[in-house]
Structure 1
Amino acid sequence: MLNLPNALASLRILLAPLMFWVILNPEIFTDNGFHISWNYYFATLLFVLASATDFFDGFIAREWNQMTMMGAILDPLADKMLTLAAFLGLMMTGAASAWAIYIIIVRELFITGIRTVAVSEGLEVKASWAGKVKTVAQMIAIGFLLMHWPFANELLWFAVFLTLYSGFEYLWGFKKAIIKDENK
């Protein structure tokens, strides 16, 4: 079902590879006489625009009662595509720690697998505030890394910490959902 929230999530999916390409191809600016910082600005602009769609698609879906199963699938998929495109591009250009990115990717894949199991078993494990804070911390770290600002790496490692914490919290919620289901 295509509605405005799903269209915004789809836009985020389309912006992710474009941003990834811009991060990996700074020569589109430097070969045309622009300073490398223009590459940073443009990649960051794409990231901020795509990130804004994340806020608006959820807000509109809730406020206009347009929550759909497709949206429940598209929204987290679009989020992962955007953050992973940014993190991988930054890692490939040497702007982000490969270890930090590895930890984030492994956690995301592991939790996605757990979510799939939960859904297949009919278990309800809701996203926590820690997961939302993790997402915001990752987005801030990505912005700082894209712009090559001071403390970008420290923010990245803080985001890694929150990523791991929210993953453990999700696992705890999954365990509680299994116990609750077994006691029915």
Structure 2
Amino acid sequence: MFNLPNLLAFARLLIAPVMFWIILNPQVFTDMGWHVSWNYYAASLLFVIASVTDFFDGYIARELDQITIVGQILDPLADKMLTLAAFLGLMMAGAASAWAIYIIIVRELFITGLRTLSLSEGIDISASWAGKVKTVAQMIAIGFLLMHWPFGDMLLWIAVALTVYSGIEYLIGFSKAYQNRSNA
């Protein structure tokens, strides 16, 4: 339970609310005499650090054979908390489309619940290729939106499309696995 991959995932859980708070409180930086955009730079730095831990926790877990049930639940939960904290903060700060964020939130919560249910039912719906591409697309969109770079909105809608697609893919995979289990 307490291994390095799980600790890295837990670190992401701790970073998420701090990043959210920083996005929504630019006065912290202006009170120190810094430009208002420094809150986005600080949030971006935290987001990059947390995203790197996401890569390493999976790599370490596979290489050192430290995959655990706790990690299988904690890792996607930490990913969701991190991306949702960033997306909600950006939306509340007026830097991202509310509709895009609502679509992402509904999908993420639904699939996280579905994956948790599947684990309790003994059904494996591990991360798919589309789910991994979706995560990368969301992370890139968040980075662009946090830094106020061009094409951030376009990248957000691409991430939304991939989010919906991968959600449908997970739902189909779960349905097939559940039917196969019921028929066996």
TM-score scaled by length of structure 1: 0.96
Aligned to 1:32: 32
Which runs of 5 or more structure 2 residues have no equivalent in the other structure?
none
Mean Cα deviation higher: 43-52 or 171-180: 171-180
1:127 is displaced (CA, Å) by 2.0
Aligned to 2:91: 91
Percent identity, please.
74
- Alpha-carbon displacement from aligned partner over 1:124-172 (angstroms, at most 9, x marks no partner): 2232100000000000000001001111000000000000000011111
1:55 is displaced (CA, Å) by 0.4
Which runs of at least 4 in structure 1 moved beyond 6 Å after TM superposition? none
| 1:172 equivalent in alignment to 2:172 | yes
1:178 is displaced (CA, Å) by 1.9
Aligned to 2:115: 115
- In structure 2, C-alpha distance between the alignment counterparts of 1:119 and 1:57, rounded to whole Å: 20
The answer to whether the 8 A contact 2:73-2:116 is kept is no
Aligned to 2:15: 15
What one-letter code is carried by the residue in structure 1 that aligns with 2:32? N
- Alpha-carbon displacement from aligned partner over 1:86-120 (angstroms, at most 9, x marks no partner): 00000000001110000000011111222233223
Aligned to 2:133: 133
RMSD: 1.1
Aligned to 1:55: 55
- In structure 1, C-alpha distance between the alignment counterparts of 2:178 and 2:79, rounded to whole Å: 27
- In structure 2, C-alpha distance between the alignment counterparts of 1:79 and 1:87, rounded to whole Å: 12
Residue 130 of structure 1 aligns to a residue whose secondary structure is: helix
- In structure 2, C-alpha distance between the alignment counterparts of 1:48 and 1:72, rounded to whole Å: 22
Mean Cα deviation higher: 5-14 or 158-167: 5-14
Aligned to 2:156: 156
- In structure 2, C-alpha distance between the alignment counterparts of 1:119 and 1:6, rounded to whole Å: 17
Which runs of 5 or more structure 1 residues have no equivalent in the other structure?
none
- In structure 2, C-alpha distance between the alignment counterparts of 1:6 and 1:173, rounded to whole Å: 26
Residue 16 of structure 2 aligns to a residue whose secondary structure is: helix
- In structure 2, C-alpha distance between the alignment counterparts of 1:173 and 1:28, rounded to whole Å: 46
- In structure 2, C-alpha distance between the alignment counterparts of 1:120 and 1:72, rounded to whole Å: 12
- In structure 1, C-alpha distance between the alignment counterparts of 2:71 and 2:118, rounded to whole Å: 18
Mean Cα deviation higher: 136-145 or 32-41: 32-41
Mean Cα deviation higher: 106-115 or 79-88: 106-115
The answer to whether the 8 A contact 2:43-2:146 is kept is yes
How many residues of Structure 1 are paired with residues of Structure 2 in the alignment? 184
- Alpha-carbon displacement from aligned partner over 1:60-92 (angstroms, at most 9, x marks no partner): 000011111111111111111100100000000
Residue 162 of structure 1 aligns to a residue whose secondary structure is: helix
What one-letter code is carried by the residue in structure 1 that aligns with 2:19? M
1:35 is displaced (CA, Å) by 1.2
Aligned to 1:5: 5
Aligned to 1:77: 77
- In structure 1, C-alpha distance between the alignment counterparts of 2:53 and 2:129, rounded to whole Å: 19
